[in-house]
Homo-oligomer: A and B are copies of this chain.
Amino acid sequence: MRRRVNFYEVDSIGIVHFSWFARYMEEAEHALWRAAGLSIAPVASEVGFPRVSMSFDFKSPLRFEDEFEVHLRVAAIGRRSMRYGCVVSCEGRVVATGSLTIACVRRTPEGAMEATPIPESIAARFAVAPDPKV
Interface residues of A (CB under 8 A from B): 6-8, 10-15, 17-20, 22-23, 26-27, 30, 34, 39-41, 48, 50-58, 61, 64-65, 113
By the criterion CB–CB under 8 Å, are B52 and A13 in contact?
no
Query: Is the Cβ of B64 less than 8 Å from the Cβ of A53?
Result: no
Q: Which residues of the other chain, B, contact A13 by a CB distance below 8 angstroms?
A: 12, 41, 48, 50
The answer for the CA separation of A6 and B70 in the assembled complex, in Å, is 15
Which B residues are in CB contact (< 8 Å) with A61?
50, 113
In the complex the two chains form, is A54's CB within 8 Å of B53's CB? no
- A50 engages B55 (CB within 8 Å): no
A22–B18 CB distance below 8 A? yes
Total copies of the chain = 4
Given contacts A6-B26, A11-B12, A39-B64, 7 further A-B contacts (CB under 8 A): A8-B11, A12-B64, A19-B20, A19-B23, A19-B26, A53-B55, A54-B55
Known: A22-B19, A26-B7. A41 touches B12 (CB 8 A): yes
| Cα distance, A113 to B26, chains bound together (Å) | 29
Given known pairs A19-B19, A34-B65, A65-B39, the reply for A26 and B51 (CB within 8 Å) is no
CA–CA, A18 to B10, complex, Å? 13
Residue of B nearest to A61 (CB): B50
B53→A58 contact, CB < 8 A = yes
